[in-house]
């Protein structure tokens, strides 16, 4: 195989442009799972105070304009949620531990105000190491060459390491101020009921108590001695003045750590710093890199012939890897903990978009994600009760308690986008089928499945002899409160069948099982007279969207160009709905039905949701639509890397990033999911531009490496047993540690 240049691992920012700074900060988010931190600069930016109090608009987040800032600090421990009076529980932005301010003769380095001759930052995706190089022309005339390095340690998960190396061209005295800033807000709101800061020559400590009832400790220490401690009610600092000769190199290291009262590993922040104090930066970095290498080994996708795609794929995988939390009391939030814009909430994105990546590369992690749903079953029961229902109803937006947190002004989603409970069951089954851990359904997940079925039975209405789901918002949020949405009906049918199949062993009565089976049969999937599946009962009576007049600038989301009131009465969609159903239930529909739905619904889709283009791409590959597939590939894989459009300012879209992985594996490589096929089956549609793609997979516990180019499909069975595969319709049995090369037929 051709060696890739190491550049394909480097995400690089070459300039600090205020309007793009937030997007880079999101993309440079680092995380250990335990701890997540946006890639903010070490320096405070004068134009972006972090303690402004404001109320976010009670509006759809997708259409919201955030306050205009060049940096938005974000330091999170997944699971630390605090109540907001309007928006409900939100992941809490913790005191900022990264700050290192530099002064020369009273001039503070502020990269947006100072004279900066050179600026670049790069994130090495392979090592998760963030570097910055800068040349600062001080007002005194001195020119400083400064380099930073930063990691959030992959193994010592509470630990952040920063290094700064300064070389002046003249003799200077530099003042360094480094510490912890506790004067921060979450979405403009102050969640701290107590902030206590201490500083001494040996380090800083900041303890906060939140209105969510948590206690968080943040500690930091600077390398070397001679520091002076200074603390006030909001912040703690270590300060030192250092004389440097021209050309002399100053190396400073800052270490910080976080801990909280919900930790499983009970080492406090101070104890963490203390425990590792004698281990050097380089040694700690080595351990960190080794851990990241292991992760990449399980999941890297190598693409030959398309540098851009290669980089985008790796950025996606990087964010998936760093946002995973090894703690089934939480899941991966929809911004992958790269911002508080979506309040750190868990959506259906987990089951339908994010989980499959882990499921086919590191299934124990997928299990952890699904266990979160099992752990929050009591809250789902409470949620059903809140609405007056039996059983369990998973919330549209869960916090770590699994409770509904979608604010009530978005009631069209909170109350009506009920498919989430069916998505959870789909996730359970997908996990079990792909991992081969079938007992998971009958044991771990059984109660949740049964309770969801009981909710469905209570939610279903009987109208004119049919079992119907009324006033439902499907995945396409531009068409809320519709009757018999096909997606929802299909996922309910699937739920009830799943419940019926595992119910008996779990003690459900025959009578109840029979009712589930009967009801599943009686739920309609509505079709037009010509057989085309309807998105919902009223679809054909809606108006045609007038994209020509109401969506002139296609670089902006449709919803920014038109009022929601108008959107709600035409056929435009935010994301796939019928096509999403078809993607999830490929075997239920013929190619002809799918093509018909594609031709009809695809032109109506605005892709205002980042979850949209990836699914369209998957359908296009399955339909063999090469050109469309490539168009959607560009849309999907560029979504978070199109820095200028500002979408990434408020965090990366982890569901979209996960759909990039699905696009390559299930789409271009044409691997059928375990929901579609019992054995590993693939039928690639490699983009012409790509010379080759290769990736590892785990199929029902067997490790596999797949390599596809335009001539050959090469499958290595890296497991200790035989592996049955189906490549382009031909079945192979690959012996343990052997491989097979399938020659592509040129049609």
Report the interface residues with a second copy, using CB under 8 A.
Answer: 55, 57-59, 85-86, 386-388, 407-412, 415-416, 461-464, 468, 470-471, 480-481, 483, 537-538, 541-543, 550, 562-566, 568-570
Task: Give dist(CA 405, CA 433) in Å, integer.
Answer: 31
Least distance from a second copy to the Cβ atom of residue 519, Å: 15
Least distance from a second copy to the Cβ atom of residue 741, Å: 55
Cβ atoms 391, 455 nearer than 8 A:
yes
- E-strand ranges in 26-77 read 30-31, 36-37, 75-76
Please list the alpha-helical segments (H only) found in 191-348. 269-275, 281-299, 307-323
- Could you say which DSSP state residue 645 is in? G
Task: Give dist(CA 98, CA 85) in Å, integer.
Answer: 29
- Could you say which DSSP state residue 673 is in? P
Task: Give the CA diameter of the chain.
Answer: 88
By beta-carbon proximity to a second copy, the closer residue of 265 and 564 is 564
By beta-carbon proximity to a second copy, the closer residue of 412 and 421 is 412
Q: Return the residue matching tokens 């002064």.
A: 103
Angle at alpha carbon of residue 445, lines to 439 and 448, rounded to 5°:
155
Least distance from a second copy to the Cβ atom of residue 485, Å: 12
By beta-carbon proximity to a second copy, the closer residue of 386 and 735 is 386
Task: Give dist(CA 99, CA 570) in Å, integer.
Answer: 50
By beta-carbon proximity to a second copy, the closer residue of 158 and 416 is 416
Tokens of 403: 């409770």
Q: Residue 483: exposed, middle, or buried by beta-carbon count in 10 A (0-12, 13-18, 19+)?
A: middle
By beta-carbon proximity to a second copy, the closer residue of 521 and 564 is 564
By beta-carbon proximity to a second copy, the closer residue of 534 and 671 is 534
Least distance from a second copy to the Cβ atom of residue 414, Å: 9
By beta-carbon proximity to a second copy, the closer residue of 460 and 664 is 460
Tokens of 366: 């997928």
Least distance from a second copy to the Cβ atom of residue 463, Å: 6
By beta-carbon proximity to a second copy, the closer residue of 74 and 474 is 474
Least distance from a second copy to the Cβ atom of residue 567, Å: 9
Q: Return the residue matching tokens 């001695």.
A: 225
Sign of CA dihedral 147, 152, 154, 156: positive
Q: How many CB atoms lie within 10 A of CB 497?
A: 16
By beta-carbon proximity to a second copy, the closer residue of 391 and 684 is 391
Cα–chain center distance at 210: 25
Least distance from a second copy to the Cβ atom of residue 305, Å: 45
Q: Return the residue matching tokens 């012409």.
A: 688
Least distance from a second copy to the Cβ atom of residue 406, Å: 12
By beta-carbon proximity to a second copy, the closer residue of 127 and 383 is 383
- Could you say which DSSP state residue 339 is in? -
Sign of CA dihedral 52, 53, 55, 61: positive
Q: Residue 269: which of 206, 182, 196, 197 has the closest Cα? A: 206
Q: Which residues of 125-150 are buried (b: 16+ CB within 10 A; e: fewer)?
A: bbbbbbbbebebebeeebbbbbebbb
By beta-carbon proximity to a second copy, the closer residue of 540 and 644 is 540
By beta-carbon proximity to a second copy, the closer residue of 435 and 606 is 606
Least distance from a second copy to the Cβ atom of residue 542, Å: 6
Least distance from a second copy to the Cβ atom of residue 116, Å: 38
Least distance from a second copy to the Cβ atom of residue 484, Å: 8
Tokens of 567: 């959107």
Tokens of 208: 């906060």
Tokens of 63: 């259409």
Least distance from a second copy to the Cβ atom of residue 192, Å: 19
Please list the alpha-helical segments (H only) found in 13-108. 18-27
Q: What is the DSSP string of 475-499?
A: S-TTS-SBSS-HHHHHHHHHHHHHH
By beta-carbon proximity to a second copy, the closer residue of 407 and 436 is 407
Least distance from a second copy to the Cβ atom of residue 361, Å: 38
Task: Give dist(CA 253, CA 538) in Å, integer.
Answer: 63
């Amino acid at each position: 195989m051709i060696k890739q240049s190491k550049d394909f691992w480097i995400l690089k920012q070459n300039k600090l442009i205020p309007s793009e700074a937030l997007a880079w900060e999101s993309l440079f988010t680092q995380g250990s799972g335990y701890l997540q931190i946006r890639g903010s600069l070490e320096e405070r930016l004068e134009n972006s105070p972090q303690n402004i109090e404001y109320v976010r608009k009670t509006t759809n987040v997708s259409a919201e304009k955030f306050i205009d800032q060049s940096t938005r600090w974000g330091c999170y421990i997944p699971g630390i949620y605090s109540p907001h009076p309007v928006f409900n529980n939100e992941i809490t932005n913790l005191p900022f531990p990264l700050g290192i301010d530099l002064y020369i003769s009273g001039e503070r380095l502020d990269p947006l105000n100072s004279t900066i001759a050179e600026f670049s930052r790069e994130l090495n995706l392979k090592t998760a190491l963030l570097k910055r190089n800068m040349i600062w022309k001080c007002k005194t005339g001195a020119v400083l060459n400064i380099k930073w390095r930063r990691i959030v340690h992959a193994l010592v998960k509470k630990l952040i390491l920063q290094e700064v190396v300064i070389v002046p061209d003249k003799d200077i005295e530099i003042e360094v101020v480094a510490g912890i800033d506790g004067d921060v807000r979450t979405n403009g709101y102050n969640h701290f009921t107590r902030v206590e800061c201490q500083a001494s020559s040996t380090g800083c400590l900041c303890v906060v108590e939140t209105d969510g009832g948590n206690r968080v400790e943040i500690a930091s220490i600077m390398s070397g001695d001679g520091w002076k401690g200074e603390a006030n009610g909001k912040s703690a600092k270590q300060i030192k003045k250092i004389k440097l000769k021209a050309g002399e190199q100053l190396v400073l290291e800052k270490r910080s750590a976080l801990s909280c009262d919900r930790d499983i590993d009970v080492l406090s922040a101070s104890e963490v710093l203390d425990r590792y104090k004698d281990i050097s930066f380089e040694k700690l970095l080595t351990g960190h890199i080794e851990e990241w290498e292991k992760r990449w080994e399980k999941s890297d996708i190598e693409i030959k012939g398309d540098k851009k795609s290669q980089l985008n794929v790796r950025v996606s995988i990087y964010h998936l890897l760093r946002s995973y939390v090894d703690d089934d009391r939480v899941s991966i939030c929809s911004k992958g903990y790269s911002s508080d814009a979506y309040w750190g909430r868990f959506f259906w994105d987990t089951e339908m978009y994010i989980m499959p990546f882990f499921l086919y590369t590191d299934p124990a992690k997928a299990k952890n994600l699904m266990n979160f749903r099992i752990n929050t079953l009591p809250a789902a029961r409470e949620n059903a009760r809140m609405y007056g229902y039996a059983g369990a109803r998973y919330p549209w937006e869960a916090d770590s308690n699994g409770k509904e947190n979608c604010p009530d002004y978005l009631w069209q989603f909170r109350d009506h986008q009920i498919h989430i409970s069916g998505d959870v069951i789909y996730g359970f089954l997908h996990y079990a089928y792909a991992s081969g851990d079938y007992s998971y359904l009958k044991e771990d997940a059984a109660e949740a499945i049964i309770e969801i079925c009981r909710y469905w039975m209570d939610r279903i209405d009987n109208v004119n002899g049919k079992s119907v789901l009324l006033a439902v918002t499907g995945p396409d949020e531009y068409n809320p409160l519709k009757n018999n949405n096909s997606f929802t009906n299909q996922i309910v049918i699937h739920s009830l069948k799943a419940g019926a199949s595992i119910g008996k062993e779990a003690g459900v009565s025959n009578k109840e099982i029979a009712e589930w089976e009967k009801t599943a049969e009686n739920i309609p999937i509505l079709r037009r007279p010509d057989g085309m599946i309807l998105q919902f009962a009223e679809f054909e009576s809606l108006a045609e969207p007038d994209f020509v007049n109401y969506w002139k600038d296609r670089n902006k989301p449709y919803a920014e160009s038109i009022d929601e009131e108008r959107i709600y009465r035409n056929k435009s969609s935010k994301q796939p709905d019928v096509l999403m159903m078809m993607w999830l239930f490929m075997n239920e529909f013929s190619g002809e039905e799918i093509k018909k739905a594609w031709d009809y619904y695809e032109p109506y889709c605005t892709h205002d949701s980042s979850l949209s283009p990836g699914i369209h791409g998957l359908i296009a590959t399955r339909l063999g639509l090469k050109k469309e597939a490539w168009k959607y590939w560009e849309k999907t894989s560029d979504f978070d890397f199109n820095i200028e459009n500002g979408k990434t300012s408020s965090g990366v879209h982890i569901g979209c990033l996960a759909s990039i992985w699905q696009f390559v594996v299930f789409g271009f490589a044409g691997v059928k999911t375990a929901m579609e096929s019992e054995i590993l089956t693939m039928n690639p549609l490699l983009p012409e531009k790509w010379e080759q793609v290769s990736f590892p997979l785990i199929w029902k516990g067997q490790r596999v490496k797949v390599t596809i180019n335009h001539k050959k499909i090469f499958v290595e069975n890296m497991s200790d047993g035989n592996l049955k595969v189906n490549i382009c319709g031909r079945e192979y049995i690959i012996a343990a540690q052997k491989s097979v090369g399938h020659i592509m037929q040129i049609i």
